[in-house]
Amino acid sequence: MAQLEAQKKLKIILENYFVGMKAPVAWCTSAGPAEILRALGFEVYFPENHGAMLGATRLAGKYIPKAHRAGFSGEICSYLTADIGAWLMKETPLTNAYGLKSIPKPDMIVFNTNQCREVAEWFNFYGREFNCPVVGIYPPRYLEDVSKSDIDNVVAQFKEVISVGENVLGKKLDPHELEKVVALSYEGTQLWKQVLDTARKKPSPLSFFDGTILMAPIVMLRGTKICVDFYKETLSELEELAKTQQEDSNQLRLYWEGMPIWGRLRSMAQFFNDNNSVVVASTYCNSWIFDDFNPKNPLESMASAYTKIFINRGENTKLAYMEKMLNDFDIDGIIFHDAKTCFNNSNNRFGLPKRLKDSTRIDTLTIDGDLNDLRFFSDGQTQTKLETFLEQLKSKKRISV
């Protein structure tokens, strides 16, 4: 895909975000209650985004061993080990990218274990390093159905976040400001959904690999007008691009389940393009579609949205979700990424690929790798597996025509 004007603008947006970040600063997990923190008056920084930057710039391999030597296991999240390793070595890609000497100092740290249990240890490490308050949100996990008591549980924890934040800042949360921020988050997430839905078109104007870059504002700037405006422009460009493309009935349409392999985004995007195939949908990029946000009922709607995310659900709910996605995006094949250090986001380990194949007749492939630690990824082996899989899908497609 040719670079969009919106992608060029994204570089400026991210530079302004990092360079312009001033105290007070709150750290937050990527699917945590950033709306509360913004409404309180904090600027919000996301360590997971920094972890992804370390992976995408292929610096993670330099820093992960440092964290291992400091006592962090090689089996745990490589976002965590890359990020902490970089901190211990007093380095960051923000220096080369934006001239910043360090990651921003937190006045408060908040995490939500809805996506990952290990963020608790990760963020508490920094709480000790910076001697600042840390508030953890522990929602009920692996739910098939989300009950009112589940929501009430999370709302009570959100209120603790508010209380600690008010104490740090010495001022009360303005409920009208929270409503305003949640309204912007809702608008942004609906636009992000529309951006991803352009991939339903044939041919798709964007791929999963494009989405992993374009998703930055919905993670880092959720609840701001900057985010909303960015996705309005992005959506307009993608819709115009879709009008100019010619459909290729032989092109394979694929679904990616699991984390990106950040250090191989470009090469994998090129591989699929060279093999007349495109990854048009994923559960990963969709993790920041929050349909439940409601400014008229901010805390309860946030609790619902953040608890109902895909990774926090039971296997039956995940199966039903993916069945719908495969149908909506007219998928020919599914690629599961089994990330060695990311148990929470590797959804191939409890029989889901077979259940999907049985219910949809769509073929699946599991590839081994990791989000950041490329020692667990083999370029040659992965390419061979993918080439064989794509050829099988093409043969099946030819027979069905």
Type of residue numbered 126: Y
On whether both 147 and 234 belong to a single domain, the answer is: no
CATH number at residue 75: 3.40.50.11890
For residues 219 and 46, is the Cβ–Cβ distance under 8 A? yes
On whether both 163 and 182 belong to a single domain, the answer is: no
On whether both 247 and 133 belong to a single domain, the answer is: no
Alpha-carbon 275 to chain mean position: 26
Alpha-carbon 246 to chain mean position: 30
pLDDT band at 399 (very low <50, low <70, confident <90, very high): confident
- Residues 294 and 283: their CA atoms lie apart, in Å, by 23
Q: Are strands 25-28 and 108-112 parallel, antiparallel or unpaired?
A: parallel
Alpha-carbon 9 to chain mean position: 20
Has residue 10 been placed in a domain? no
For residues 98 and 106, is the Cβ–Cβ distance under 8 A? no
Residue scoring higher pLDDT (5 or 187): 187
User: Which of 132, 147, 176 marks a domain boundary?
Assistant: 176
- Residues 97 and 102: their CA atoms lie apart, in Å, by 12
Alpha helices in 70-118 (DSSP H): 78-88, 93-98
On whether both 291 and 379 belong to a single domain, the answer is: yes
**Residue-level pLDDT at 4:** 80
- Residues 121 and 359: their CA atoms lie apart, in Å, by 38
Q: Are strands 108-112 and 43-45 parallel, antiparallel or unpaired?
A: unpaired
Q: Which two tokens stand for residue 10?
A: 């994204």
Has residue 6 been placed in a domain? no
- Across the chain, mean pLDDT equals 96
On whether both 147 and 255 belong to a single domain, the answer is: no
User: Which of 176, 210, 239 marks a domain boundary?
Assistant: 176
Q: pLDDT of 355-371, one tens digit each?
A: 999 999 999 999 999 99
Has residue 14 been placed in a domain? no
Report the alpha-carbon angle 264-51-277, nearest 5. Answer: 25
**Residue-level pLDDT at 257:** 98
pLDDT band at 23 (very low <50, low <70, confident <90, very high): very high
| Cα 318 to Cα 73, 112, 304, distances in angstroms | 29, 20, 17
**Residue-level pLDDT at 50:** 98
Q: What is the mean pLDDT of residues 56-84?
A: 97
**Residue-level pLDDT at 247:** 87
**Residue-level pLDDT at 246:** 87
Q: Is the pLDDT of residue 269 over 80?
A: yes
Helix axes of 5-19 and 225-244: crossing angle, nearest 10 degrees = 160
Q: What is the mean pLDDT of residues 61-78?
A: 97
76-95 exposure pattern, b = at least 16 Cβ within 10 A, e = fewer: bbbbbbbbbbbbeeebbbbe
pLDDT band at 2 (very low <50, low <70, confident <90, very high): low
279-315 exposure pattern, b = at least 16 Cβ within 10 A, e = fewer: bbbbbbbbbbbbebbbbeebbbbbbbbbbbbbbbbee
Domain limits for position 372: 177-400
On whether both 121 and 240 belong to a single domain, the answer is: no
Neighbouring C-beta atoms of residue 11, cutoff 10 Å: 11
Helix axes of 60-69 and 78-88: crossing angle, nearest 10 degrees = 80
On whether both 269 and 331 belong to a single domain, the answer is: yes
- Residues 101 and 2: their CA atoms lie apart, in Å, by 33
User: Which of 176, 203, 229 marks a domain boundary?
Assistant: 176
On whether both 286 and 161 belong to a single domain, the answer is: no
Q: pLDDT of 163-215, one tens digit each?
A: 999 999 999 999 999 999 999 999 999 999 999 999 999 999 999 999 999 99
Q: What are phi and psi of 282, to 5 degrees?
A: -160, 155
Q: What are phi and psi of 313, to 5 degrees?
A: -105, 165
Has residue 50 been placed in a domain? yes
On whether both 239 and 332 belong to a single domain, the answer is: yes
For residues 228 and 195, is the Cβ–Cβ distance under 8 A? no
- Residues 142 and 152: their CA atoms lie apart, in Å, by 17
**Residue-level pLDDT at 249:** 85
**Residue-level pLDDT at 1:** 47
Has residue 159 been placed in a domain? yes
DSSP string, 136-189: EE----SBSS--HHHHHHHHHHHHHHHHHHHHHHTS---HHHHHHHHHHHHHHH
Has residue 13 been placed in a domain? no
- Residues 50 and 38: their CA atoms lie apart, in Å, by 19
Q: What is the mean pLDDT of residues 77-103?
A: 98
Q: What is the mean pLDDT of residues 224-228?
A: 98
- Residues 123 and 120: their CA atoms lie apart, in Å, by 6
Provide the strand spans (E) within 218-331: 252-257, 277-282
Domain count within the chain: 2
On whether both 168 and 209 belong to a single domain, the answer is: no
On whether both 169 and 203 belong to a single domain, the answer is: no
On whether both 136 and 193 belong to a single domain, the answer is: no
- Residues 227 and 190: their CA atoms lie apart, in Å, by 11
- Residues 276 and 56: their CA atoms lie apart, in Å, by 24
- Residues 310 and 324: their CA atoms lie apart, in Å, by 13
Has residue 15 been placed in a domain? no
| Cα 381 to Cα 50, 129, 328, distances in angstroms | 29, 41, 31
